[in-house]
């Protein structure tokens, strides 16, 4: 019998999650250093909108709730703190982001982002509609947050819904598991 407090080491099944978290943190610091956003943000969102005004509105909203926002479709207003522009995003850099939001007309590779485990925030009507469903934490179902039209406030409502759901560890785990099961 082992003395009290001494137990053999058994790797925890979530140890790969810890490794992924370390890789995400490293990628996030790398992106933050290159694009001048704070490393202390709660997370990072990738935005891809063809409309410049909508892009600025969404970027300012994301940064207002404590996240960093990086755009792939053109620069965002330079007055927005913790927002920037990615001219090109490498597949390895996708791990730095937590979610992406797009109007499906932007330049982000939607399938590549979903395969990288980013939570999609997309229009309800899109080419992936058969694969996506609205996340419902009470039923443990869904893998996306879907907005009905390009009204900036409806889009921002879904970003806030994402933030509210991921602050609960179990809801976050279920959402990420559902995204991974759908797109891997």
DSSP collapsed to 3 states, 72-111: CCCCCCCCCCCEEECCCCCHHHHHHCCEEEECCCCCCCHH
What is the pLDDT at residue 85? 86
What is the pLDDT at residue 8? 42
What is the pLDDT at residue 107? 86
Q: Contact, 99 vs 121, CB < 8 A?
A: yes
- Domains in the chain: ranges and CATH: 17-35+43-183 (3.40.50.2000)
* Residues of the chain under the 70 pLDDT cut: 1-20, 78
Tens digits of residue pLDDT in 151-168:
999 999 999 999 999 999
What is the pLDDT at residue 60? 93
Count Cβ atoms below 10 Å from residue 104 Cβ, excluding itself. 15
What is the pLDDT at residue 137? 93
pTM of the model: 0.84
Nearest to 43, CA basis, from 121, 83, 84, 97 = 97
What is the pLDDT at residue 153? 96
């Amino acid at each position: 019998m082992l003395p009290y407090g001494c137990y053999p080491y058994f790797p925890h099944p979530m140890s790969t999650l810890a490794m992924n978290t370390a890789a995400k943190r490293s990628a996030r610091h790398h992106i933050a250093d290159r694009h001048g956003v704070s490393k202390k943000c709660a997370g990072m969102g990738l935005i891809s909108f063809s409309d410049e005004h909508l892009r600025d509105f969404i970027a300012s909203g994301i940064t207002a709730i404590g996240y960093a926002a990086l755009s792939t479709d053109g620069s965002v207003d330079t007055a927005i703190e913790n927002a920037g522009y990615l001219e090109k995003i490498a597949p390895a850099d996708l791990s730095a982001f937590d979610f992406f939001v797009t109007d499906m007309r932007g330049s982000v590779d939607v399938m590549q982002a979903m395969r990288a485990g980013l939570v999609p925030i997309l229009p309800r009507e899109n080419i992936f509609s058969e694969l996506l469903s609205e996340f419902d934490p009470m039923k443990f179902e869904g893998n996306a947050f879907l907005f009905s039209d390009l009204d900036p406030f409806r889009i921002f409502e879904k970003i806030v819904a994402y933030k509210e759901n991921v602050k609960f560890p179990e809801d976050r785990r279920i959402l990420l598991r559902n995204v991974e099961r759908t797109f891997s």
